Structure 1
Amino acid sequence: MVQAYILIQTEVGRAADVAREIAEIDGVTRAEDVTGPYDVVVRAQAEDVDALGRLVVARIQRLAGISRTLTCPIVNI
């Protein structure tokens, strides 16, 4: 199992809507709108890195209102 934080920049005024939509996606464990350089922070999980990439590209980046994402896989030591 791979887990990651996905940092998202949205169009102005869309953060809350984007966070609500992302929270409904399978594999997303948490989605919150925040302040700072990113507008939404998501915690997600997938079976492997390839599945995580598909989740981000095919499900999250296609939502209306998203301008940029940054995926940060969690490293467990």
Structure 2
Amino acid sequence: MVEAFMLIQTEVGRAEVVAKQLAALPGVSSSEYVTGPYDVVIRVEAASASELESVVVPSVQQAMGITRSLTCPIADGVHT
């Protein structure tokens, strides 16, 4: 399993709507709207890096209201 965080900027006033829209997409395991330089932070997952790059990330980026995104692959999770 490959996971990443995506940091997303949205059109003004659209963060909550975009976060809810993204939460319903396949491969999105969590979706939150936040304050700061980014408006929405999501966690995405796929069976492989290739699937993450070619399927999950593009489906997120095509959502209405997104102006910019940054994908941050998780290098190694810390499990407690």
Fold conserved (TM > 0.5)? Answer: yes
Distance 1:6 1:12 in 2: 18
Q: Structure 1: how far apart are the matches of 2:50 and 2:37?
A: 27
Unaligned runs of 5+ in 1: none
Aligned length: 76
Q: Deviations over 1:31-51 (max 9, x none)?
A: 000000000000110011111
| 2: CA distance, partners of 1:70 / 1:31 | 14
Alignment of 1:1-77 (within 5 A): 1-53=1-53, 54-57=55-58, 59-76=59-76
Structure 1 residues 3-22: Cα deviation after superposition (integer angstroms, max 9, x where no partner): 00000000000000000000
User: Could you tell me the TM-score, scaled by structure 2's length?
Assistant: 0.90
Shift >2 Å, 4+ stretches: none
CA distance in 2, matches of 1:63, 1:43: 15
Which TM-score applies when normalising by structure 1?
A: 0.94
Provide the identity percentage.
51
SS of the counterpart of 1:19? helix
Q: How far apart are the structure 1 equivalents of 2:50 and 2:66?
A: 21
Deviation at 1:66, TM superposition (A): 0.2
| Structure whose alpha-carbon radius of gyration is higher | 2
Task: Give structure 2 stretches of 5+ with no counterpart.
Answer: none
